[in-house]
Amino acid sequence: MRNVLNDAEKAKNKKAPLGTDITIENYSKEDISVYDVIDDLDDLSKKDKDTLISVGVDSEEKQRSGSFVQFDQSNIFANTLSDNIEVMNTGVAKDKYPWLKDYLWNAVKPDQDKYTAETALREEKEDVYSGYFIRSKPNTKEVFPVQACMFIADKDIMQTAHNIIIAEENSELHLITGCATGSDISSALHVGVSELYLKPGSKITFTMVHNWAEQVEVRPRTGIKLADNTTFINNYILTSPVQCVQSYPTAYCEGKNSRALFQSVLSGQKTSNIDVGSRAILNHESSSAEVLSRSVANDESKIYARGDLVGNVPNVKGHLECNGLVLSDESSIYAVPILEANSSGLELSHEAAVGKIDEDEIYYLTSRGFSEEEAAAMIVRGFLNMDITGLPPALAESTKKMIDMSVKGM
C-alpha cells in the first residue's frame, strides 16, 4: 500500500536531478479560495482573455468540448460541453469518485523530488486539491478538444496543480492546455503534476503551450500509462522567455501495440534556461515510441533537449530525433539523446543535428527576392513550425495556427 504522506515527507528536501534547485520557501502559498468561481469565461477581463487565447484557450469556447481554468491555487471555472467528456476539479472528482484514489500518484511518484512532494503534502496535510480531472467516457470519440489553463495571477506564489486525465476504453480525448502568467507578474513558481491513463484502445493527444513571464520557474511532472492498443501524442510548445523550465514527461508503454509520440518546439530567448526531455519506457512487445524536438537558441538562452528511450522487451521500436539551431554566440543547445536496450531483438535509434542556419537555404530564398534577414527569419519559423501529427483536422489547423502565432511573436 502506498503511503503518500510518508513518501512525500521523506522527499521534502529531495533535489531534482535536473534543472536549477529552487528554494520553495521563497515562494508563498495561496489559498484555494482567493479567486471566486466564475460562471462564464466571458467574465474574465479583456487582458486575461487575451493572455488565455495566446496559449490556445478560447474564452468563447468555440469548438471545445470543455474548459477548465485555474488562477493561482483557485479553480475558478470547470465546464463540460459534451456528453462524451467530464471536466471538473480534482478535489471535486475525488469526492465524487472513490476510485480516483487509485489514479492519484500512480503514474508520478510523490517522492520523485521536492516539487512532487510539496504538491502531495498540500493535498495530504491541508486538503488542497487544485488542478483538473478530465475523463473521456468509454467508446466515445470527441473531436473537439478540452481546453485547460493554469494561470498565475499573483507574484511570488508557488502554484501547484494535480491533473488526472483518463481515456476510458476505446475512447478518444484531445486536450489543449495553456499555461500563462498575468502581465505584471515578475516572479513565481509553477509545479504541475499530470497523470494520464490510457485504457485499452484509447487515444489521447495532449498539446501544451507555455507562455510564462521571464522570471517564472516551471517544474511540470508528467507520467503517462498506456494499456493495449493505445496511442499517446504529446506536443509541447514554448516560444516565450522564461526563467527556467525543467520537465521530463515519461510514458510507460505497458500494453501491446501501445505507442507514444512526443514532439517539442522550443525557442530559447533572453536568459531562458529550458530543459525539456521526453522519455518512453517500452515494457511490452510491439510497443513503440518516437521523440522529435526542434530547438532554436537565441540571445543568452540555454536549451537542453533530452530524449530517453528504454527498451525492456524484444520487438519494441523507438526513434529519437533532435534538431537545433544556435543563433547567437552566447546561447547554447545541449542535445542529449539516451538509448537503453535491455533485451535482444529491439530497435532503438537516434539522430541529432545542432548547428547554424544553412547558408545555401538563405541564398536560395534571396534568389527569390527575400532579403537575408527575411530569409533567416523565415527559415527559423519554418524549422520550428513542425507538422503536428495525430490531431483531428480542425484541431490540427488551429494548433498549426497557434504555433505559427507564437513563432511569429518571437
Partner 1 sequence: MLLEIHNLAVEVEGKQVLKNVNLSIAEGETHVLLGPNGAGKSTLFMTILGFPKYHVTNGSIIFKGKDITNLSTAERVKLGMGVSFQNPPAIRGISVENLLKYESGQNEEDELNPRMKSLADKLKFNDDFLKRDVNLGFSGGEVKRSEVLQLLAQRPDFTMFDEPDSGVDIENVELIAEELNVILDKQKKISERKRAGLLITHLGYILNFVKADKAHILMNGEIACSGNPDEILNDVRENGFKGCVNCAQCTQ
Cα–Cα distance for residue pair 198/363, rounded to 1 Å:
47
- Residue 126 or 404: the one with the smaller Cβ distance to partner 1 is 404
Q: Which three cell numbers stand for residue 132?
A: 483538473
Taking a C-beta distance cutoff of 8 angstroms, is the pair 264, 239 a contact? no
- Residue 257 or 293: the one with the smaller Cβ distance to partner 1 is 293
CB of 291 to partner 1, least distance (A): 18
The window from 1-9, 100-108, 193-201, 365-373 that contacts partner 1 (CB under 8 A) reads: 365-373
The window from 70-78, 100-108, 275-283, 375-383 that contacts partner 1 (CB under 8 A) reads: 375-383
Name residue, grid cell 486536450.
Answer: 175
Would strands 146-152 and 66-71 be described as parallel, antiparallel, or unpaired?
Answer: parallel
Say which amino acid occupies 114: K
**Is residue 333 a contact point for partner 1 (CB under 8 A)?**
no
CB of 263 to partner 1, least distance (A): 14
CB of 235 to partner 1, least distance (A): 16
Long-range contacts of 90-98 (CB under 8 A, 24+ apart): 90/129, 90/130, 90/131, 90/132, 90/133, 90/162, 90/163, 90/164, 91/32, 91/127, 91/129, 91/130, 92/133, 93/133, 93/164, 94/129, 94/133
Binds partner 1 by CB under 8 A, chosen from 26, 125, 126, 364:
364
Nearest CA-CA partner of 18 in 220, 203, 180: 220
**Is residue 361 a contact point for partner 1 (CB under 8 A)?**
yes
Binds partner 1 by CB under 8 A, chosen from 121, 188, 260, 386:
386
Kindly identify the residues of this chain, within the stretch 390-409, that bind partner 1 according to CB under 8 A.
none
- Residue 39 or 387: the one with the smaller Cβ distance to partner 1 is 387
- Residue 329 or 360: the one with the smaller Cβ distance to partner 1 is 360
The window from 103-111, 169-177, 301-309, 363-371 that contacts partner 1 (CB under 8 A) reads: 363-371
Count of Cβ atoms closer than 10 Å to residue 374 Cβ: 13
Collapse the DSSP code of 93 into the 3-class scheme (helix H, G, I; strand E, B; otherwise coil) and give the result. Answer: helix
**Is residue 17 a contact point for partner 1 (CB under 8 A)?**
no
**Is residue 384 a contact point for partner 1 (CB under 8 A)?**
yes
Say which amino acid occupies 171: S
**Is residue 363 a contact point for partner 1 (CB under 8 A)?**
yes
CB of 364 to partner 1, least distance (A): 5
Collapse the DSSP code of 401 into the 3-class scheme (helix H, G, I; strand E, B; otherwise coil) and give the result. Answer: helix
Q: Supply the DSSP string of 230-296, one letter for each residue.
A: -EEEEEEEE-S--SEEEE--EEEE-STT-EEEEEEEEEE-TT-EEEEEEEEEE-STT-EEEEEEEEE
Kindly identify the residues of this chain, within the stretch 286-305, that bind partner 1 according to CB under 8 A.
none
The set of residues, in sequence order, having a beta carbon less than 8 Å from that of 407 and lying 6+ positions away, is 239, 265, 267, 380, 381, 384, 385
The window from 73-81, 298-306, 378-386, 390-398 that contacts partner 1 (CB under 8 A) reads: 378-386
CB of 363 to partner 1, least distance (A): 5
CB of 375 to partner 1, least distance (A): 8
Count of Cβ atoms closer than 10 Å to residue 385 Cβ: 16
- Residue 165 or 291: the one with the smaller Cβ distance to partner 1 is 291
**Is residue 60 a contact point for partner 1 (CB under 8 A)?**
no
Collapse the DSSP code of 177 into the 3-class scheme (helix H, G, I; strand E, B; otherwise coil) and give the result. Answer: strand
The window from 29-37, 45-53, 132-140, 368-376 that contacts partner 1 (CB under 8 A) reads: 368-376
Q: Which three cell numbers stand for residue 112?
A: 520523485
Collapse the DSSP code of 315 into the 3-class scheme (helix H, G, I; strand E, B; otherwise coil) and give the result. Answer: coil
User: Per-residue x/- mask for partner 1, residues 340 to 359, rule CB under 8 A?
Assistant: ------------------xx
* # residues contacting partner 1 (CB under 8 A): 22
Binding residues vs partner 1 (CB under 8 A) = 358-361, 363-372, 378-379, 381-386
